[in-house]
Chain A
Amino acid sequence: VIVRLSAPTQERADRIAAVLAPVGLRIRARALALPALPRPAASVAAAARRRALLAVEGAGGVVVLEDEALVVPALGGQPGQASSSFADGAASADGVVPEGTAQGAGAPREQAPAHERNVARLLLLMAGVPLHGRAAVLLTHVVAAVPRRVLFEAPAECHGWLLDEPRGAGPGYDAIFVAQAVPDRSLAELAPHARSRATGEGRALDDLLIWASRGGAL
């Protein structure tokens, strides 16, 4: 069985590969870009399922995909499914466009990496909200699919809150998200295995290993 991986970062794809390695599955490709959806799905989990089905359609074999989304209830659930492109829709959505980045005010918007622009926009929208009202939830969904069929899925749900300025450097919203399991550090300040445990991703990958070791991908 040929397995292709799709995850937000190369490091996360490598971790999935490490989980599947003992099972003896042959990993063909890592970190395929997460496919964009033509329109929003009903939920973050449904979006992950559709992305996996889209990813496997052209690739064949089995695709294991890890998707992640940040939900901020104070913003009505944003960024949600648009987590990876939150800053792109800024002008049309609410007119709040971060001109600088989280690290360098005044820098041209185009020069900053996408995740920094996303963080900057989120911080602008949350400006002035006191700590007790800055709840946020990081949703992770691991999906394995073959063409037109989802074989396996495992959810992870991490409740925490948003800092008012970035701490550490990391992908996504890691620099401003604090998981309640490790309340004194941002996710970006955690070692990869500690981050995985704090966000619940570790349990989802445990589930993936159990499923795969029982021949689920065969």
Chain B
Amino acid sequence: VIVVDGGSGTGKSTLVDALRALGYEARERGLPSEAASEGMPEAGAALPEGEAYVILDAPEEVSRARLMESGKLLSGNWHTHEALAMARLRFKEVARALGVPVLDARRSQGEVLSAVLELLDIELGPLRVGLPGGDTFEAIAGILRTAGYPVDEVAGPAGTHAAPGLELRALPPRSLPRLVSLGLLDAAFCGYESLVDSGYDGVVQVLAHLPLEPVRLWAAAASPELLSSPPPRPLVIATPWPLVAGRWASGRHLAHVCVETFGPAGAFAPALADLVVDRAEVIASCPLVALEEVMAGKTCLFARGRAVHHQFGTRIRAACSALLAGQLTPLRVIAREGPQRRPWAFSPARGRATRQREWKHSAHPGSWSLAAVASAASSRRASPSWASRSRPSPATTRSPVC
């Protein structure tokens, strides 16, 4: 958010309107106003994440002339010559203390706007958004269209696609969290499980969970007693998502070594690994005992920097709400579940009791069973390659949670 601050009659409202017209979220008054009236924040306090500040400054005569033009009373408490002079002094002190830039607001509206954009290093170029290639590309393009960003598909899934205000680039999904974290992209879409597995989930901000590609990851082993009576050595876990599996295992205090499988892990256990963490469909197709749900997720939109408060995120959320309300039915929209569970996060604020409740919850997931989930997911998927495969019978899947 761009926060425009300063005394009365400096042109804050005009600048905020101009910034909003360019697609940026902007508002009047924030921390500098609070500091000017109530005192400075404590040492070491950060400016609020995702907020950029600018203070406008103009001589009292200029401010009073503008106030008069806009029909304000010059005799009001804050609009006298003395009050404006005092406010001007205070804002200059606050700007020095907080390191907030001060702009000369005597200039024209266009000049002030250009100066702000230059000062805040805001490019007027399009928002750089990463998309996963492959089948998901089409589904996300559908949501983008619904959100008012028609995608030019001439470039194909590997090229750069034009959409008003956006530069869309199709890239391998697992590379996207790092690119956003580094600032090489402003925002991106990928599976939530891929975001968590990248380790950058604490650095970027999730803006929306899309009703696409729901994934449930489960832990499974040859023996149902593996977790209650583990071997006296680190467990070997085979999984395509080593960090997700690692967080789950460490959260259960289990020393472990993760083997990244780069594909379905079902064949690794029990000969090559003690335990497998993989999609519910993969687990259901293997002669393994499903032990516990590790996480659930769907495709998500995440961002960092200027994209966090850009109208793009708001419009994508609105499009997802419209889809879930049944107003539109794009390809592969199949998830209508509640909030997602995060795997164990290493925060001192989350105590042991919380974790135990979560484990208990995940060991007794209620009315659905693993076989049912796998069956439902496979029947709903539109992929011909999946539909042509023979599905394992629920009766052959040994699951203690069924």
With A50-B46, A157-B243 already in contact, the answer to whether A77 and B254 are too (CB < 8 A) is no
**Counting CB contacts under 8 A, is B203 at the interface?**
yes
Residues in B whose Cβ lies below 8 Å from that of A216? 183
7 smallest beta-carbon distances between A and B, as pairs: A161-B255, A159-B246, A54-B44, A135-B250, A132-B230, A180-B257, A74-B253
A159 near B256: Cβ-Cβ < 8 Å: yes
Q: Closest residue to B246 on the A side, CB-wise?
A: A159
Once the chains bind, are B46 and A149 in contact (CB under 8 Å)?
yes
Q: Which B residues touch A74, using CB under 8 A?
A: 253
Nearest residue (CB) in B for A207 is B182
Instruction: Tell me if B46 and A180 are in contact (CB < 8 A).
Output: no
Contact yes or no, A77 B202, CB < 8 A: no
A183 contact from B45, B181, B200, B234, Cβ within 8 A: B234
Q: Hey, which chain A residues are within 8 Å of B203, CB to CB?
A: 45, 153-155
CB-CB under 8 A from B200, the residues of chain A are 155
A137 and B250 in contact, given A42-B347, A148-B99, A211-B182 (Cβ under 8 angstroms): yes
Q: Which residues of A contact B355 (CB under 8 A)?
A: 73
Partner of A154, one of B99, B181, B235: B181
Q: Are B43 and A57 in contact, CB atoms less than 8 angstroms apart?
A: yes
Instruction: Tell me the count of chain A residues lying within 8 A, CB to CB, of chain B.
Output: 50
Question: Does residue A166 face the partner (Cβ distance < 8 Å to B)?
Answer: no
Query: What CA separation (Å) do A126 and B92 show in the bound complex?
Result: 55
Q: Is the CB of B44 within 8 A of A131?
A: no
A-B contact pairs, 27 of them (CB 8 A): A35-B44, A38-B44, A43-B349, A45-B202, A49-B46, A73-B252, A73-B344, A76-B348, A81-B348, A131-B234, A132-B231, A132-B234, A132-B254, A135-B252, A135-B255, A137-B250, A149-B99, A155-B199, A155-B200, A157-B346, A159-B246, A159-B250, A160-B255, A161-B234, A183-B257, A200-B199, A214-B183
Given A44-B347, A159-B246, A159-B250, 19 other A-B contacts at CB below 8 A?
A: A42-B349, A43-B347, A53-B44, A57-B43, A132-B230, A135-B249, A147-B99, A150-B49, A152-B183, A155-B202, A155-B203, A157-B246, A157-B247, A159-B247, A159-B249, A161-B234, A180-B258, A207-B178, A214-B182
Question: Which chain A residues lie closer than 8 Å to B184 at the CB level?
Answer: 214
Tally chain B residues at the interface, Cβ within 8 Å. 46
Q: How far is the CA of A139 from the CA of B234 in the complex (A)?
A: 20
B233 interface residue, CB < 8 Å from A?
yes
Q: Once the chains are docked, how many angstroms separate the CA of A49 from the CA of B48?
A: 12
Q: Separation in Å of the B271 CB from the closest CB of chain A?
A: 19
Taking the complex as formed, is A133 at the interface, i.e. its CB lies under 8 A from any CB of chain B? yes
